[in-house]
């Protein structure tokens, strides 16, 4: 026997009049319990509404573009009932809701019946870019997957308190700066009014849309997500500590994607809320009058950019002899020239030796040739790098080797020294970048599924989303000189770029490093507006073994910033006409 029930929108929190962006079923479709029926999108996240039970879809009452709220009828569903049953089937059923991260459920029990147990083919530890990519790819390849994430949102540091929220704030900061610079072109604006509450909401909306999308993608792939801290207790099992219970998960194969954490300097007063890390900086508690940024690397300079644009007087202190250590000095120079005029101070080859809380700020002692003995700041941001989490998850109990720094060594297939345990992302080594982690994750998942996959990327690009942006890929001059590697360089100044000049940004530069004998491209560096968007072409050129002639003969659209890569190659070939740079003999 069958009975028709009406499926309605379940409790979706405080959201009302939420738009239907996708209808995933049609009349006559057979669905199983938890199959997705429609997709909704609010201003914070997208969510899929699942079927409450198995059945055949009857009439569909909504379409794309409709606005729905809790209780709105979605469709009718013909469900089977057992003959002779006395249980009444309700005529209207709300689809079940799934929290962003589900609790672990018991499937089997081990020796201790009080501890829930699960068994799974593939366990992924960590829900950041490396973790969720590994989980989704493994599920796409037919594996039964459980993903354990410590926090209550998927996405890891990158989506929640790193790459994404920082870029949302940097976009605002760059817009503020560019609007002010338009005064030189005859368009002047009043000083912007900063509404911190709305700015935080903007950042959180961007984050919510992405993390909510991950929840939907996990459900669609039937990846089970468990919130809790995972610790290896054997080579084939982990204990997941949750708020009120622990669960043991037995796995056939595992992928460790447990990420990294901010590096701390011993002896600083971390119990004082005025001393913050990048997560605290992104929280935007206030706009301090004066801020000290300890660390002149990418993270520190990006956050300095945000706070400076919002009105904070910024001082940067860096232990190395240049900002963004490891990046070529000629790429850093245009950025440093700009922020020298914007920031209160930039101290290189200097360090902070002590911080003491006082009523009106944090008193900081310095060591360096040009630093004061001490100064007082409203807030201090500590941004001196990140450390892997390899030493905090019981890896050694599972037999997994972890080095003294906390990194887990892996081979080209992302295998650890334990053949059925893989590792990806920050925890396996530098560079600690999300785009490296996602590629490693796919390799690990594909190897687990029986594919002959290897991580064999020739190069991994890096980007500093400062103003101007800096991006580089492949060989750097700093690296070449240190290693004694022969190279030649061809550069093109953006002061000769029509597109750059039209944007009022002439400080940029693009350079190509190439082999003196074969002329194969070895590395590319770019400083200027949107450098991060341009560097991918260079990465592809190096991956494909292109030489300078290939880049020079590739027609680029005019006028664009992408032409500067073409022009740099023309400089190498001696064919450039936009500047005078005859080919070297």
Contact between 320 and 348 under an 8 Å Cβ cutoff? The reply is yes
- In this structure, is the dihedral angle defined by the CA atoms of residues 445, 446, 452 and 454, taken in order, positive or negative? negative
Categorize the per-residue pLDDT at 10 as very low, low, confident or very high, splitting at 50, 70 and 90.
confident
Interacting residues of 445 by C-beta distance below 8 A, sequence separation 6+: 122, 133, 134, 135, 137, 138, 141, 143, 255
Q: Look at residue 106 and tell me whether its pLDDT is greater than 70.
A: no
pLDDT averaged over every residue in the chain: 91
**Mean pLDDT (whole number) for 358-379:** 97
Query: 100-109, 224-233, 331-340, 420-429 — which is least confidently predicted?
Result: 100-109
Alpha-carbon distances of 207 from 112, 157, 214, 282, 439, rounded to whole Å? 40, 11, 11, 12, 22
CA angle centred on 342, ends 317 and 562, rounded to 5°: 100
Task: Give the tens place of pLDDT for each residue, 475-495.
Answer: 999 999 999 999 999 999 999
> Does residue 100 carry a pLDDT above 70?
no
CA distance 571 to 585: 13
pLDDT at site 176: 97
Confidence of residue 430 (pLDDT cuts 50, 70, 90): very high
Is the pLDDT score of 130 beyond 60?
yes
Domains of the chain: 2-94 (2.40.50.100), 101-262+386-457 (3.50.50.60), 275-384 (3.50.50.60), 462-573 (3.30.390.30)
Q: What is the pLDDT of residues 21-57, one digit of tens each?
A: 888 899 988 988 878 899 887 765 667 788 888 899 9
Q: Which has the closest alpha carbon to 93: 110, 109, 79?
A: 79
pLDDT recorded at residue 114: 58
Q: How many CA atoms lie within 13 A of 115 on its CB side?
A: 14
pLDDT score recorded for residue 91: 42
pLDDT of residue 1: 65
- Asked about 420 being catalytic, the answer comes back as no
CB of 256 closer than 8 Å to CB of 131: no
Please check the confidence at residue 88 and state whether its pLDDT lies above 80.
no
* pTM for this prediction: 0.82
Q: What is the pLDDT of residue 51?
A: 87
pLDDT over threshold 90, residue 70: no
Q: How confident is the model at residue 374 (pLDDT cuts 50, 70, 90)?
A: very high
Grouping H, G, I as helix, E, B as strand and the rest as coil, residue 198 is helix
DSSP E strand stretches across 295-392:
313-317, 345-347, 351-358, 361-367, 374-377, 379-382, 386-388
Q: Which residues contact 466 (CB under 8 A, 6 or more apart)?
A: 298, 301, 302, 305, 335, 339
């Amino acid at each position: 026997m069958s009975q028709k029930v009406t499926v309605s929108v379940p409790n979706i929190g405080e959201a009302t009049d939420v738009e239907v962006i996708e209808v995933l079923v049609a009349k006559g479709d057979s669905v199983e319990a938890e199959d997705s029926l429609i997709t909704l999108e609010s201003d914070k996240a997208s969510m899929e509404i699942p079927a409450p039970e198995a059945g055949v879809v009857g009439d569909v009452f909504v379409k794309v573009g409709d606005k729905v709220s809790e209780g709105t009828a979605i469709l009718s569903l013909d469900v089977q009932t057992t003959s002779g049953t006395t249980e009444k089937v309700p005529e209207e059923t709300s689809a079940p809701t799934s929290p962003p991260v589900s609790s672990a459920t018991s499937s089997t029990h081990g020796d201790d019946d009080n501890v829930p147990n699960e068994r799974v083919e593939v366990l992924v530890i960590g829900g950041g870019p490396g973790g969720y990519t590994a989980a989704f790819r493994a599920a796409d390849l037919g594996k039964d997957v459980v993903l354990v994430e410590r926090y209550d949102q998927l996405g890891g540091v990158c989506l929640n308190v790193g790459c994404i929220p920082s870029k949302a704030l940097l976009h605002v900061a760059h817009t503020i700066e560019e609007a002010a610079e338009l005064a030189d072109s005859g368009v002047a604006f009043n000083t912007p009014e900063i509404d911190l509450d709305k700015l935080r909401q903007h950042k959180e909306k961007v984050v919510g849309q992405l993390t909510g999308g991950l929840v939907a993608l996990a459900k669609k792939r039937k990846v089970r997500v468990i919130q809790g801290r995972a610790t290896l207790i054997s080579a084939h099992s982990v204990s997941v500590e949750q708020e009120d219970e622990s669960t043991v998960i037995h796995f056939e194969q595992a992928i460790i994607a447990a990420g990294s954490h901010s590096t701390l300097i011993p002896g600083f007063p971390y119990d004082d809320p005025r001393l913050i890390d990048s997560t605290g900086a992104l929280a935007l508690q206030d706009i301090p009058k004066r801020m000290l940024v300890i660390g002149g690397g990418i993270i520190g300079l990006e956050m300095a950019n945000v706070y400076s644009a919002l009105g904070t007087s910024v001082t940067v202190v860096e232990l190395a002899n240049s900002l963004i250590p490891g990046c070529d000095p000629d790429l850093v120079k245009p950025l440093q020239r700009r922020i020298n005029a914007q920031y209160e101070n930039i101290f290189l080859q200097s360090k902070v030796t002590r911080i003491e809380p006082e009523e009106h700020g944090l008193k900081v002692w310095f060591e360096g040739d040009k630093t004061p003995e001490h100064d007082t700041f409203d807030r201090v941001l500590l941004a001196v790098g990140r450390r892997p989490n390899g030493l905090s998850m019981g890896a050694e109990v599972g037999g997994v080797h972890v080095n003294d720094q906390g990194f887990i060594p892996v081979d080209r297939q992302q295998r650890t020294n334990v053949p059925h345990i893989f590792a990806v992302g920050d925890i396996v080594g530098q560079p600690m970048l999300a785009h490296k982690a996602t590629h490693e994750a796919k390799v690990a998942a594909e190897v687990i599924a029986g594919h002959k996959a290897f991580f064999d990327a020739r190069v991994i690009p890096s980007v500093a989303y400062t103003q101007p942006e800096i991006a580089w890929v492949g060989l750097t001059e700093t690296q070449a000189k240190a290693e004694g590697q022969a190279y030649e360089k061809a550069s093109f100044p953006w002061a000769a770029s029509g597109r750059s000049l039209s944007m009022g940004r002439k400080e940029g530069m693009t350079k190509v490093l190439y082999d003196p004998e074969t002329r194969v491209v070895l590395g590319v560096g770019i400083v200027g507006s949107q450098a991060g968007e341009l560097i991918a072409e260079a990465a592809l050129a190096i991956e494909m073994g292109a030489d300078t002639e290939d880049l020079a003969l590739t027609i680029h659209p005019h006028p664009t910033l992408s032409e500067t890569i073409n022009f740099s190659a023309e400089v190498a070939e001696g064919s450039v006409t936009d500047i005078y740079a005859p080919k070297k003999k």
